[in-house]
């Protein structure tokens, strides 16, 4: 039997159905892999007891003939999802010792479908970052490295632990969250598939909030089919989240027909940004050619507000974050650093509990909402956000989906770009507009850079049309035949 950790989620599902192996064996294989790959620092909390307990229960259910869509499949959870009685950190010191008395809607759906929890994976603090460098729990190491070089690379962020765990075969799949690219960019950097669903497709209830109008949960997997399988389980209306859409969830796996004939694919002119490496441009062109060869029709489109997307995002997201993070005050949970007065306790707790990037964004957010600046920053950014969404609306009158690169570069080395937040923010130039418009986006591994690192292509779909987006991604995946993989875990010790 092939190594169990090498299976795709769909193949593992089929193997379990055929009783080729048990859920317990599958869980044990992954727990062993996790142990060997601790140097990647992908997990903040490993939950072997929970995993084995769930796997035993899953095997018992299957024996009773009662199996869910993800029955017995071990996955990793970004440590931004609240998990009942399991440490939930958001990658921050300020949530010290916080064990939620509730389970997030998305993780509850996964367990309900039979999935097995391997643990909580690392992330940028409060999901703020594109490198996983801002985690209080230390950086995650990308399982990929440049051939012949031992410099450690970042996995991207903020769902860096999720991406690294899936790429390094520590989990069959993981879930992440995406506020400005936090699923798609690390998926691109780690050579896996990452989906940011339409805003409102998955419930945000129980996810530690970063920027409420942008945050979405999504799957991170090694194939488009696996992503579709996960997404079908994660999606659905939740009365506990007023922004979740009361829409039926299609069978996304069934949407993967491989047939994109006649689909019109928008190629946004404005995404040819200055200084974009030629290899990214080349990859993009290759993607266009693949889709054309499969019978789709590339159409040049204009998303003229693109250049304002990053500045708009860096006003709206911090503004919302500044309010969302006000609850971390040392009063009710997490870290408390005592002070002589209430204000002093706040100051000491928040000074010690938050890292530099979080502080930067809370300050920016507070500033842009302040009296006298609100109109010039926050209100203007909201107006531009509307215009960005209108750009997409107009484009989608002419096309069925949009194809872009996922990020303007491959993974960079740990420590790089840390002194230049603006350069870091540029990582999200292709992903951020999608969040601002609330649209679904997927990153598919499409090739290797000259340095031998994975590069991703992004497909952007119409709102709530993840099915078409996944179908196109499936065709790209087949055409790209991306079989490269990082060196097996454990090699780095």
Binding site for other proteins (CB under 8 A): 81-82, 88, 90, 95, 98, 100-102, 104, 204-209, 211-213, 239-243, 319-320, 322-323, 325-327, 329, 331-333, 342-343, 346, 366, 369-371, 374, 378
Q: Are strands 74-78 and 43-46 parallel, antiparallel or unpaired?
A: unpaired
Give 37 or 106: the residue with its C-beta nearer to other proteins.
106
Report, in Å, the least distance between residue 130 CB and other proteins.
22
Q: Which residues pair with 442 in a beta bridge?
A: 195, 459
Sheet holding 401-405, edge to edge: 43-46, 116-121, 74-78, 173-178, 216-221, 193-196, 441-448, 454-461, 401-405, 264-268, 297-301
Give 317 or 459: the residue with its C-beta nearer to other proteins.
317
Report, in Å, the least distance between residue 250 CB and other proteins.
23
Report, in Å, the least distance between residue 369 CB and other proteins.
4
Report, in Å, the least distance between residue 362 CB and other proteins.
11
Report, in Å, the least distance between residue 357 CB and other proteins.
18
Report, in Å, the least distance between residue 242 CB and other proteins.
5
Give 105 or 458: the residue with its C-beta nearer to other proteins.
105
Give 207 or 401: the residue with its C-beta nearer to other proteins.
207
CB burial of residue 341 (10 Å; 0-12, 13-18, 19+): exposed
Give 382 or 449: the residue with its C-beta nearer to other proteins.
382
Give 276 or 323: the residue with its C-beta nearer to other proteins.
323
Which of 173, 80, 93 has its CA nearest to residue 120? 80
Report, in Å, the least distance between residue 320 CB and other proteins.
6
Catalytic annotation, residues? 78, 158, 182
Which of 210, 168, 167, 207 has its CA nearest to residue 187? 167
Give 329 or 466: the residue with its C-beta nearer to other proteins.
329
Rg of the chain taking only CA atoms, in angstroms:
21
């Amino acid at each position: 039997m092939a190594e169990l950790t090498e299976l795709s989620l769909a193949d593992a599902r089929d193997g379990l159905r055929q009783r080729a192996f048990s859920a317990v064996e599958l869980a044990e294989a992954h727990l062993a892999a996790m142990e060997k790959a601790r140097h990647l620092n992908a997990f903040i909390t490993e939950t072997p007891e929970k995993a084995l307990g769930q796997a035993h229960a899953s095997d018992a259910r299957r024996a009773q003939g009662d199996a869910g869509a993800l029955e017995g499949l071990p996955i990793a959870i970004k440590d931004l999802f609240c998990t009942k009685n399991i440490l939930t950190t958001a990658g921050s010191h300020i949530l010290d010792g916080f064990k939620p008395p509730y389970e997030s809607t998305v993780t509850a759906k996964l367990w309900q479908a039979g999935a097995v929890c391997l643990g909580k994976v690392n992330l940028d603090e409060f999901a703020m970052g594109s490198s996983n460098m801002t985690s209080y729990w230390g950086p995650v190491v990308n399982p990929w490295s440049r051939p012949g070089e031992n410099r450690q690379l970042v996995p991207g962020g903020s769902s860096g632990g999720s991406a690294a765990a899936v790429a390094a075969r520590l989990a069959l799949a993981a879930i992440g969250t995406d506020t400005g690219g936090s699923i798609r960019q690390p998926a691109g950097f780690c050579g896996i598939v990452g989906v940011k669903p339409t805003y409102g497709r998955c419930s945000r209830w129980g996810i530690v909030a970063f920027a409420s109008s942008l945050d979405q949960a999504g799957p991170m997997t090694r194939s488009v089919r696996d992503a579709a399988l996960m997404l079908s389980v994660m999606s659905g209306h939740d009365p506990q989240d007023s922004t979740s859409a009361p829409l039926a969830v299609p069978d996304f796996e069934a949407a993967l027909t491989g047939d994109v004939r006649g689909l019109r694919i928008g190629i946004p002119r404005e995404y040819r940004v200055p200084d974009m490496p030629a290899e990214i441009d080349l990859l993009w062109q290759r993607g266009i050619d693949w889709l054309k060869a499969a019978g789709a029709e590339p159409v040049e489109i204009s998303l003229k507000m693109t250049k304002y997307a990053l500045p708009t995002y860096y006003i709206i997201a911090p503004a919302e974050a500044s309010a969302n993070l006000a609850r971390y005050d040392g009063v009710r949970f997490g870290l408390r650093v005592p002070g002589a007065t209430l204000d002093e306790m706040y100051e000491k707790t928040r000074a010690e509990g938050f890292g530099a990037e979080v502080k930067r964004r809370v300050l920016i957010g507070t500033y842009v909402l302040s009296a006298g600046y609100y109109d010039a920053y926050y209100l203007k950014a909201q107006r531009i956000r509307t215009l960005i969404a209108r750009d997409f609306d107009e484009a989608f009158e002419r096309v069925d989906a949009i194809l872009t690169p996922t990020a303007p570069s491959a993974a960079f080395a740990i420590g790089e770009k840390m002194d230049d937040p603006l350069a870091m923010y540029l990582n999200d130039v292709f992903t951020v507009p999608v969040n601002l418009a609330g649209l679904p986006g997927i990153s598919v591994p499409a090739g290797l850079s000259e340095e031998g690192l994975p590069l991703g292509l992004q497909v952007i779909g119409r709102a709530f049309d993840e099915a078409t987006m996944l179908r196109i991604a499936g065709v790209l995946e087949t055409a790209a035949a991306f079989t490269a993989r990082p060196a097996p875990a454990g090699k780095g010790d």
